[in-house]
Every structure is written in structure tokens, then in C-alpha cells.
Amino acid sequence: MKRYVAKRVLHSLFIMWLVATTIFVGLRVLPGGPVQTMLGIEGNEAAVQALRNELGLNQPLYVQYLEWMGGLLTGDMGTSITSSEEVSVLVQQAAPRTFSIAIVGVTSGLLVAIPSGIISATRRREPVDYVATVASFLGISMPAFFIGIVLALIFGVWFNILPVFGYTPLSEGFVPWLKSIFLPGIAVGLPYAAIVMRMMRSSLLEEMNQQYMRTAKAKGVGGKVRLYKHAIQNAFIPVVTVAGIQLALVLVGSVTVEIVFGIQGLGRLLVNSILDRNYPVTQAVILIVAGVMVFTNLVVDLTYTVLDPRIRYGGDSA
């Protein structure tokens, strides 16, 4: 198992290195180069050279590369072109907002999806199953930002129960924080819940039809034990995969939903930096998101070792 964990960690580090290198190359190889685009039409040769100097683009490639990698390791991602603030500071302000939304989304999504998936599978073809199936179909068909607008309209404009604009940091108390990100979190969580629920349902249905379930019944194992100890535990393995893969959906959802609710998170930062051609900020945000994705992938892989004993025991002997 140790070997498996080590292998997965090394693999994640390799992917992160690949991502950072791609961003480095992408910035330098593309025709025209971002410097020209940054300055626009009025950028004459002298201005281009000046900016290239400032960004360190005139140094030999290997020096630039080492500096870029060294900067990343020490958390130094350069300075923003438009505001001359440290990029790392900007990201540190924005990231907690986006991740708060994503965390509320994942938590609420799983809390809805797993029980409803189990209920739907165990009461197949009953009304509750039909309701859940239709609801999940609707859930996967609505983009998070649309759900966000609908929620803002209902709870903010029509009933005025929850705030629909701005963010309250966690340091000002848990309840105000939760209130400010509750609606965006739900908006992100619903499509996620729909996908996970569909997987939970189909995976559990499949497990319940397996031979070992019949054997367990023949041995006289009680219904609850059969369901919870046998079927659900095995059914969870594909659910974890899907729940992990679809974290991308939550993250992308958070980036769009925060704009609906006027929260200045990574999405705002990314969009503004792209429109302002503020490359240091753009690459930092992309790198952060990619880093989170690689990290969650690692966590999902490690979760398998807990859920699937074949990996736990097989990994050592292999």
C-alpha cells in the first residue's frame, strides 16, 4: 500500500510539473507572443522590448524556466500588470471565496445524492424513484449559473430571505459566512448531486443483482446488513470515481456562479485578467485550478485503497 501511495504521489507531482511547463511554454511559443497582445496595436517595438525586459522574457530560456519553477516553489508568481500587486496576494484573496462555494456545493451535493440514490435503488419503480429520476435529469440539464440565477430570484428578490450579493469571510463568523455562500453553494451542488445520484442508483442496482447477494440471503443474512454491509460498500467504488471526476464540474460551477452572486473569487479574477491581458494573473489562476484538480484526483485514488481491499493488499505484493 505504501508503494501504491508513493506511486500516486509521484505521478501527481509529475502532472503538476507538466502543467507548469505547459503554461511556461504556452506563454512563449505562441505566435506574436502575449507581450504584443498585451500592448495591443499601439505597442511599438521599444515598448515591446521594455515589457519583455520587465517580464524577464529576454533572458536565455533555461534561466527563465528555472526562475519560473523556482518562483512557483516559493509561492512567488510575479506581479499583476494592471495593479502592480503581488499575484500571490490576489490569489490568496480570491481563492478562499471560490473554494468556500465549492465546499458547500460538494457537501450539500453528496448529502442529497447518496441517500436519494440509495432510496431510489431500493425502491425501484416506486413513485419516489420516478421523482428522483426526473429530478436528476433536470439537475444535469441546468448549468450551475442558471440555477444560481433562479435561486437568487426566488430567495433574494421574491422572498428576500438570503443575501444574493457579496461575500462574508469566515473570520466574521460561521453563520454570516454560510449565509453569503449558501445559495451559490446549492447552485453548484445540484448538478453535482444529480450526477452522483444517478451513479449511486445504477451502481447499487447492479450490486443488488450480484450472486453474492443471493448467497448472503441464502445464508440468512438480514436485509439491512445485506444492504449496508455488502451491497452499498461495493457500490461505492464507482460512485467515488464519478464523485471525484465531477469535482471539475463543481469547480467550474463555482467559477461561474460566483459571478452571479457578485463574489470576487477566482472566476472574476480569471475573466478580468484575460480581458485585461494580465498574463501573470491568468497563468496563476489556471495553475491553482489545475493544482486543485490534480490534488483531488490524488485524494480519490487514495480513497480507493480504503474502499477496495484488492488495491490495499495487491499493491504490496505487486
Q: Is 294 a binder of other proteins (CB under 8 A)?
A: yes
CB 75 within 8 A of CB 88: yes
Q: Is 249 a binder of other proteins (CB under 8 A)?
A: yes
Applying CB under 8 A, which of residues 8, 34, 91, 192 lies at the interface with other proteins?
A: 34
Report how many residues bind other proteins under the rule CB under 8 A: 54
**Burial class, 139, CB count within 10 angstroms (exposed 0-12 / middle 13-18 / buried 19+):** buried
CB 259 within 8 A of CB 271: yes
Query: CB 123 → other proteins: shortest distance, Å?
Result: 19
Query: CB 56 → other proteins: shortest distance, Å?
Result: 18
Query: CB 223 → other proteins: shortest distance, Å?
Result: 26
Q: Is 39 a binder of other proteins (CB under 8 A)?
A: no
Applying CB under 8 A, which of residues 132, 196, 289, 298 lies at the interface with other proteins?
A: 289
Q: Is 153 a binder of other proteins (CB under 8 A)?
A: yes
Q: Is 11 a binder of other proteins (CB under 8 A)?
A: yes
Interface mask toward other proteins for 83-122; x: CB under 8 A: ----------------------------------------
Query: CB 249 → other proteins: shortest distance, Å?
Result: 7
Applying CB under 8 A, which of residues 130, 137, 228, 313 lies at the interface with other proteins?
A: 137
Rounded to an integer, what distance in angstroms lies between the CA atom of residue 115 and that of residue 121?
10
What cell was used for 199? 451513479
SS (H, E, C) the chain: CHHHHHHHHHHHHHHHHHHHHHHHHHHHHCCCHHHHHHHCCCCCHHHHHHHHHHCCCCCCHHHHHHHHHHHHHCCCCCECCCCCCEHHHHHHHHHHHHHHHHHHHHHHHHHHHHHHHHHHHHCCCCHHHHHHHHHHHHHHHCCHHHHHHHHHHHHHHHCCCCCCCCCCCHHHCHHHHHHHHHHHHHHHHHHHHHHHHHHHHHHHHHHHCCHHHHHHHHHCCCHHHHHHHHHHHHHHHHHHHHHHHCHHHHHHHHHHHHHHCCCCCHHHHHHHHHHCCCHHHHHHHHHHHHHHHHHHHHHHHHHHHHHCHHHHHHHHHC
Query: CB 303 → other proteins: shortest distance, Å?
Result: 16
* Residue nearer to other proteins on the CB measure, 127 or 220: 127
Q: Is 231 a binder of other proteins (CB under 8 A)?
A: no
Query: CB 219 → other proteins: shortest distance, Å?
Result: 29
Interface mask toward other proteins for 178-217; x: CB under 8 A: -----------------x------x---------------
Query: CB 120 → other proteins: shortest distance, Å?
Result: 15
Cα dist from 189 to 128, 166, 193, 240, 300, whole Å: 21, 19, 6, 16, 18
Query: CB 119 → other proteins: shortest distance, Å?
Result: 19
Applying CB under 8 A, which of residues 146, 155, 182, 304 lies at the interface with other proteins?
A: 146
**Site residues (vs other proteins, CB under 8 A):** 11, 15-16, 18-19, 22-23, 26-27, 30, 32, 34, 37, 137-138, 140-143, 145-146, 149-150, 152-153, 157, 195, 202, 238, 245, 248-249, 251-252, 255-256, 259-260, 267, 270-271, 273-275, 277, 279, 282, 286, 289-291, 293-294, 297
